[in-house]
Every structure is written in structure tokens, then in C-alpha cells.
Amino acid sequence: MSEAHDAVDIIRAKRDGTGLADAQIDWVIDAYTRGAVAEEQMSALAMAILLNGMTRAEISRWTAAMIASGERMDFSALSRPTADKHSTGGVGDKITLPLAPLVAAFGVAVPQLSGRGLGHTGGTLDKLEAVPGWRADLSNAAMMRQLGEVGAVICAAGSGLAPADKKLYALRDVTGTVEAVPLIASSIMSKKIAEGTGALMLDVKVGSGAFMKTREDATELARTMVDLGTDAGVSTVALLTDMSTPLGRTAGNALEVRESVEVLAGGGPEDVVELTVALAHEMLAAAGREVARDEVAAALGDGRAMDVWRRMIAAQGGDPDAALPVAREREVLTAEADGVLTAMDAFAVGVAAWRLGAGRARKEDPVQAGAGVELHAVVGEPVRAGQPLLTLHTDTPERFARAREALAGAWSIGDQAPARRTVVLDRISAEG
């Protein structure tokens, strides 16, 4: 079949800084998805996009073309509005687990399509698979039924959503173009818009444990994604949140589920509660439910969110009362001096958890449900020499040495407590 455009012309245009026309974008995404544009040609185009960027109109069209490569879900038959959340990934980021049932407790359906961990950042599905019997794979019909009956679902995205993205994502990973903001934003937003949610909350992490290390880069990504959602008619808001130190006191699959259940029971770490409530308040507002922040927080302590959690886990085959897996081996690292914990590097903790078996280097690698890192002190707390600072968990003790290497220099102890940590750094919406 003869093609409507020439891939080389499109590559040259972007290489030379020329904007791409809608028809060129539509064609190149479609042709790449069906194999008419070669991998090396799309590699060259991705590099040109990394170097020369894209306008808002180009990114919006690129995203629309990726959505058009597959199916779109439709939740209009539900009797309640829908809202979803996406996090750009971090260390100890278990927020989806308490957040979905909390939002659902106020009559907003949460269709949370989540992913698996890769490298030092954890994956929501890996965490939930630590719950005995719980399954990630649901048909669209089962997902709709659960949203109607329970109000929340956390599951794997089907292969029918934005198949162009799956192909392009793998290519970016091996061609040094992962960092291209237009490609990151369109990758995330094509799946989220195709998912069909009415409102979308973006948690854009910034700091050592995040993909975006600087406030400037995180702001650019957040603004790009908010614009994409807005252009597609989805009510979209982003919060920039701190990922210089781990969220909560755990990094690892079963460890994070246990901590999430503590939050749903009205306890848990202060920063996890703060961010969960902030995101829930935003999601409810975006879905048209004006609920006072205090009322949102109250639902964590009075059992409303926990009731939804238990029903959500059970609906996907899990046993909410079952004991969670525990690693066979533990090793404790202690504080070397008296003082105040002034730093705990998120990236180092994430790498240690990964090396202990909580994460994977390749998509097909297995993970250990009980592996990870437990923090006995967080930044700002006093510590005494010799007291436990971290506990490392794994089924395979030969992993301890490399985890300790990752944690060399990860924390510091000083005389004075640092300023209180602010989890939410900024808010970005369509209005500015």
C-alpha cells in the first residue's frame, strides 16, 4: 500500500525545528503502530523531539493520535462521576491504596488503572499482589461492575488502551529519549484520557527519588500534562510533591500495604495521611463534589474508607483479613551518633529496596512480596547512637551487602532539626 506521507520528511522537519502538521502526526503514529514506519525512523524522530521540543498543539495532537490507536473506555453509564489519579512514581509512594477507597467513600467512582514497578520506583499492582488472592487483571465488564457496586477498582490497564504508547515506550527506553517531556506527557495522558475518566489528579514528584529531579522540570511536565487533559475535556489538576525523602516509613510491597491499612484505620505516617487527604480533596472537587478537607480526613478515622477498601480487595479475589507476607531474613542498620535525623535520601532507599528484591530491573522479573526497607526514624526526629534506624527485609540474605552499599551516605544526623517538611510544593491547574 502507498503511504500518505514520508517518514524521512517528518524526521527532517522536526530535526530542523519545524512544527508538524496534524496530518503528519496522525500518519506517523498510525504507520508506526502498524509497522510501516521502521524502529530506526521513529528513534530518529523521538531524538529530534527530545532536542527541539513540541508546541502545545503538537503534543495535544500527538496524544490524540496515540489514543486513536486503540480503544476508549466509557463510564457514562455509571450513576456517579469518575475521578482518577496518576503519580509519576517515587519511593514509598503507596498513596493510591488509601486514596481510591477514600474518594469512593464520598460517591465518586475511581477507575484506577495502575502499573508495575521498574527500577527504584515501586508499582501499585506489585504492592496489591502481596495481598493473598488479589488479582490485577479484570475484564472491562468486571471493572464496570465493580465500579458500580464498590465505587473503586485498582487494576492493570488492558492492552487495548493506546497500543502506540506501549510500542513507543519500549523504544524510548533503549534510545536515550526517555527524558523528552512531550513524550513523557503524551505517554501518561494518552492512557489516562483513553481510560475515560471525567476528572484526573496528577501527583508529579520532584526530588532525588523522583523521575524529575528539579522543581523546574517537574513544573514543565505538570503544566504540559494539565494542558493535555484540559485540551481533551478532562478536568485536570496537578500537585507537585516532595520526593527528596521516602513517603512514610516503608518501601516495599507487603510493607507498604500494611502501612496503607494503618492509614485507612485512622493512623499511619503524617506525610502519607497529609498527601492522601490533599489529593482526595482535589479529586472530589474536580468531580463536582465539594467536601471540606476536615470531612475528607474524618473518613479515614471513622471506617468509611476502610469499608470500601475491604470490599474493593474482596471483589478482586483478595482476603482483606489475611496475614501479609513477611520476608524470611532481616538486618538492622543503626544510628552512628546522637542527634536529629536531618536527611534520608529517597533514591538510595529506593535502590536498596529494589536490590533486596522489592523491585525489578526488567519488566519480566519477579518481585519478593516481603522485601523492602522499613524506616524507624524520619527526617526531623531525634535519634540515639545504636538505635535501629532502618530494617532491611529480604528472602535472600546474599542481597544485604548490595543494599547496604546503596545506603552508604544516605542519611545524616545533625544537632538541629531541619525546617518542617512540606509534602505539597505547588498546585497547577488550567487556570494557572
Given the residues 165, 203, 227, 271, select the one marked as catalytic: 165
527528596: which residue's cell? 244
Coil, strand or helix at 109: strand
Whether residue 66 contacts residue 186, with contact meaning beta carbons closer than 8 Å, is answered with yes
Q: Which residues contact 56 (CB under 8 A, 6 or more apart)?
A: 224, 227, 231
- Catalytic-labelled residue, pool 14, 61, 85, 86: 86
**197: its cell numbers:** 475518566
Give the integer Cα–Cα distance in Å for 82 and 283: 9
126 is catalytic: no
172 flagged as catalytic: yes
> DSSP characters for 247-267?
STTEEEHHHHHHHHHHHHTT-
Q: 172, 281, 310, 355: which one is catalytic?
A: 172
| Residue 20, all three cell numbers | 508538524
The DSSP call for residue 207 is S
Helical packing angle, 304-315 and 293-301, nearest 10°? 60
Is 394 in contact with 327 (CB distance < 8 Å)?
yes
* Cα 156 → chain centroid: 13
Contact 92, 349 (CB under 8 A): yes
Residue 187 annotated in active site: yes
165 catalytic, yes or no? yes
- In angstroms, the first-to-last Cα distance of the chain is 46
d(CA 162, CA 267): 39
* Residue 412 designated active-site: no
DSSP characters for 330-399? EEEEE-SSSEEEEEE-HHHHHHHHIIIIIS-SSTT----SS-EEEES--TT-EE-TTSEEEEEEES-GGG
Q: Which of 191, 281, 310, 355 is catalytic?
A: 191
Q: Which of 69, 87, 186, 187 is catalytic?
A: 187
Q: Which residues are catalytic?
A: 86, 165, 172, 187, 191
